[in-house]
Structure 1
Amino acid sequence: MLLLDGIFFRSSTAFWDASTIIPSLIHDLYGSRFLTGLVPTLRYGGWYAPQLLVAKYSERTVYKKRLLLFGYLIVTGSYSALTLLTLFGSPLWLKSSPLLVLGAYGLACIGDGVCGVPWWTLIAKTISPRRRGRLTGYSESVGSLMAFGAGFVVTTIIASGRFGFPDYYGVLFAIGIAVSLVSVVAIALIKEPPSLVGGQSGTSFFAFVKKAPMILKENPSYTRFVITKGLLMCHFLSLPFCITFARDVVGLPPQVVGEFISFQMVGGMLGSLVLGHLADRSGTRSAMILTAVGTFLIPCLPLICSLLANAVLVSPKSILIRGLLSATYVLIGLANVGSLIAMGNYVLEISTPQDRAFYVGLSNTLVFPASFLPALAGASLKWIGYEILFLMTAVIVGIGLVCAIRLDEPRALSHSEREKETNRWSLV
């Protein structure tokens, strides 16, 4: 059921993708780079913001499924509201209500953030370490394959002319909700065993948070991971502006978002297969390095496009430029699944069972400030331009790549620790 959940949840995200669909909607409604930059801020800020609170609650609950279903309820309800707004709200009215549109999207992102910790702890207590990479890899690859087909659905709906603006966005959201409901049912049908830990913590939230400095000090490998993750997450800086660059500078039509979604899902599908296999066979450090390489190349390719076009070496609408932009979205797909397969499994392996929920929540909370970078970039893009933005992103993420290479391999444990972990999972 966890595999089914992952497949359908992954495929549903194609219909409200944070790097194509939502930025394109905000761009078409408001034409504001700042508001467009708010999309990944809401997406990743909503994901990271509730993590420690959810981790605190999750740590003292024996069953995690209820919390996960509560998060799914928030996600589904918020996208339902966004569907109604885009289907029945006039463009003129929507253009005067950015807080309503962005608020509904932001609430959906918070709901997704509520799901994060219980989903990972559910994985950790039911799936052995050497099978987690394959599980997440298979779910991401099959889900990405379905989402690849969804990209053609997006292109057809936008280009058909049957639905006007912004109705076709509402249709896309409605399809996404229908697909995601399969994921909700799959989670509801899981027979969850009681947690080996939890249900006993009576400490206050502030006492819970005070554990953070101690863990960062006593576990330097975890600290290096958090720093690496934070630097790699700085690719958010230019993420929403890849689509606006393609439309405003290169001059590609609106339906190109469907094409880019398909390329993104190809990257997710191939990346999940490779990263899942790599994480299980060679360790999560290797998967982290490959993820870092792909993430570093994301801002590099549109930077090359801009330099070539400005130097009049190629036409902005040439096959080469379009190919490089398509490859950018393949890499975005790789980075997305890498954050799940590589980063997610890395933190599970480097943490202790008793503090696993806290480790997951803390690592996500500490990189939360990176989610504000796109809004800052959107506010300053008018002055710095696309080339400087892509260059700045490449430099920061490049430092993250160097840090990823220097990470420890979590499986390099002492023999006694390895034997203890093996015996523990032989009982599951």
Structure 2
Amino acid sequence: MWYTRLRYMLRLCKSGGDPAGRPRFGCGLPRCRMSEGTALSELAERDARHNILALGVDYVTFGTGMAFLGPTTILPALIRLLGGSPVVVGSLGTIQSGSWLLPQLFAGRYVANRPFVKKLVVAPAVISRSLLWLLVPVLWYTAPRAPSIAIAAILLAYAGFGIFDSLGSVGWFELVVKGLPAARRGRLLGVMQSLSSLMAIGAGAVVGVVLARPGPAWSNHLLLVLVAAAFFCIGPGFIASIREPRGAVQGSPHAGWAHYLPRLASIVRSDRRFVWLLAVRMASGLADMATAFYILFAVERLHVPEEMIGLFVSAGVAGGLLSGALLGPLGDRKGSAQVVVVIMVLRCLAPSLALAAPLVAAGVPQLALGALVLVFVASGMANSAYMVGFTNYLMEIAPPGEGATYIALSNTLCGLLTVAPLFAGWLVQVASYELVFGLTLGVAALGLAVALRRPMPVAVPARAAQ
């Protein structure tokens, strides 16, 4: 290594600072130092390319794994197949939101202001993926013998997966900031999202084929969980290979709760724009409580064949593609607040189409199926626009250096919505799917009305709490 470096430096000196050998200037010591800096910048560029690849593989494989796991399509159908009630199906949404949102305030405070965070990403990721691998043999043994135990295993594994993924997600975003060059970060993330969506569309086609296989239905779902776990396990190895630069450290690794909590309270009291966004986002979260029941409504009420679940998975991913292609540029031109308004329009559209599907099913069944496909497209667009709409708006209104605090506070407060899917499941059990969809539509319409009345006060100063 030292010999190669010496030859490179001698070549620089002989060529006047040009490693290609083209004569430029004489070889003085300052010129050699300048060329050494160029070599270091080339090494940094190689590191950047490696980090881009590692982050991209993790992003794409995680999205593909989620498509095979299907928290709003495949898992609800599996739990229903095992005999789970609508309340149990609704608990999936509770687990998904609660396990990912609630731990972030603590994780954010722990990760903040640390020079290196890679270990804080890899360790939780390995644990979360291991829980899914452990779920596979448990389901294989209990699904045909003790379905209630299989359901409990699914819920516990999914909760653990969400908690540990949440703990690693804060550090993951820090790695994105460090690993992707700022000048190309937006474009690279867009490419990653597009590749992930394309892979997930292919996953939807595979899901349809797997669910149509002969044999016990639970075994087909087990195969999908196994494939999902395999994709999830690819990412942590690539994350561990990232060449993480040292981050800037200012003061102690994390602020004490005595300073942290008063600042959080001052944001809620003083920043009207934060309160506006929180209200709209909570309305959006309540409107999303019906998402897990669209697939059950299609299968049980409209008698859609189970193998059509793959089509609905692909429709949701296609909604994500449309969101990136349409709502991203909209946010650049009109602002992220306008994207928030569009999200609420989509939240109104999904339950409206679900309520309309039975009305047209008797006359034109294909039209009813098309309406259901559009339900998943609208839901996919709304959910995929979270970063472009809600997160970007928080970053815009947050004082310098407090973007992470605003995001963590918003996510934690929205953790109060974890009981909404359980409530929706209870309503389905005691009443009907139509009641849940009608309530969802009312909440979404109210959220849209609030979204159209955006306040414009000045954000609270960063030191106001002190």
TM-score of the pair, normalised by structure 2 = 0.80
The C-alpha deviation readout for 1:85-112, integer Å capped at 9, x for no partner, is: 2234342323345322211111111122
Shift of 1:281: 4.1
2-structure distance, mates of 1:261, 1:122: 30
Shift of 1:199: 6.1
2-structure distance, mates of 1:316, 1:96: 42
1-structure distance, mates of 2:455, 2:126: 38
2-structure distance, mates of 1:111, 1:353: 29
Task: Report the 3-state secondary structure (helix = DSSP H, G, I; strand = E; otherwise coil) of the residue aligned with 2:291.
Answer: coil
1-structure distance, mates of 2:118, 2:158: 24
Shift of 1:229: 1.2
Q: What residue identity is the alignment partner of 2:109?
A: K
Q: Is the 8 A contact 2:427 2:435 kept in 1?
A: no
Task: Report the 3-state secondary structure (helix = DSSP H, G, I; strand = E; otherwise coil) of the residue aligned with 1:109.
Answer: helix
Task: Report the 3-state secondary structure (helix = DSSP H, G, I; strand = E; otherwise coil) of the residue aligned with 1:354.
Answer: coil
Distance verdict in 2 for CA 1:401–1:357, change over 3 Å:
same
Q: What residue identity is the alignment partner of 1:29?
A: L
Is 1:370 equivalent to 2:370 in the alignment?
no
Shift of 1:123: 3.7
Q: Is the 8 A contact 1:231 1:397 kept in 2?
A: yes
Is 1:208 equivalent to 2:255 in the alignment?
no
The higher radius of gyration belongs to 2
The C-alpha deviation readout for 1:386-425, integer Å capped at 9, x for no partner, is: 2221111111122222333334699x99xxxxxxxxxxxx
Q: In structure 2, what is the equivalent of residue 52 of structure 1?
A: 105
Q: In structure 2, what is the equivalent of residue 274 of structure 1?
A: 326
2:140 paired residue among 81, 87, 97: 87
Q: Is the 8 A contact 2:424 2:436 kept in 1?
A: yes
2-structure distance, mates of 1:152, 1:198: 49
Q: Is the 8 A contact 1:44 1:368 kept in 2?
A: yes
Is 1:393 equivalent to 2:440 in the alignment?
yes
Q: In structure 2, what is the equivalent of residue 416 of structure 1?
A: none
Q: What residue identity is the alignment partner of 2:105?
A: L
Mapping of 1:83-232 within 5 angstroms?
83-124=136-177, 134-161=187-214, 164-197=216-249, 200-201=252-253, 203-205=255-257, 207-232=259-284
Q: Is the 8 A contact 1:134 1:277 kept in 2?
A: no
Shift of 1:286: 2.8
Identity %: 29
Shift of 1:333: 1.2
Q: What residue identity is the alignment partner of 2:394?
A: V
2:405 paired residue among 340, 358, 376: 358
Q: In structure 2, what is the equivalent of residue 26 of structure 1?
A: 79
Is 1:321 equivalent to 2:368 in the alignment?
yes
Task: Report the 3-state secondary structure (helix = DSSP H, G, I; strand = E; otherwise coil) of the residue aligned with 1:26.
Answer: helix
Q: Is the 8 A contact 1:94 1:101 kept in 2?
A: no
Using the TM superposition, name which of 26-35 and 270-279 deviates more. 270-279
Distance verdict in 2 for CA 1:76–1:237, change over 3 Å:
same
Distance verdict in 2 for CA 1:202–1:377, change over 3 Å:
closer
2-structure distance, mates of 1:179, 1:208: 38
Distance verdict in 2 for CA 1:178–1:208, change over 3 Å:
same
Shift of 1:206: 5.6
Q: Is the 8 A contact 1:84 1:170 kept in 2?
A: no
2-structure distance, mates of 1:157, 1:291: 33
The C-alpha deviation readout for 1:214-270, integer Å capped at 9, x for no partner, is: 122343222222221111111232111101100110011222211110111111112
Q: What residue identity is the alignment partner of 2:387?
A: L
Using the TM superposition, name which of 313-322 and 124-133 deviates more. 124-133
Q: Is the 8 A contact 2:101 2:412 kept in 1?
A: yes
Q: What residue identity is the alignment partner of 1:82?
A: L
Shift of 1:385: 1.4
1:236 paired residue among 260, 267, 288: 288
2-structure distance, mates of 1:57, 1:112: 15
2-structure distance, mates of 1:121, 1:350: 20
Indicate the structure whose relative CO is greater, using CA pairs within 8 Å and at least 6 residues apart. Answer: 1
Q: Is the 8 A contact 1:147 1:262 kept in 2?
A: yes
Q: In structure 2, what is the equivalent of residue 330 of structure 1?
A: 377
Mapping of 1:375-386 within 5 angstroms?
375-386=422-433
Using the TM superposition, name which of 122-131 and 142-151 deviates more. 122-131
Gaps of 5+ in 1: 414-428
Shift of 1:337: 0.9
TM-score of the pair, normalised by structure 1 = 0.86
Task: Report the 3-state secondary structure (helix = DSSP H, G, I; strand = E; otherwise coil) of the residue aligned with 2:114.
Answer: coil
Shift of 1:6: 2.2
Q: Is the 8 A contact 1:285 1:342 kept in 2?
A: yes
Q: Is the 8 A contact 1:37 1:240 kept in 2?
A: yes
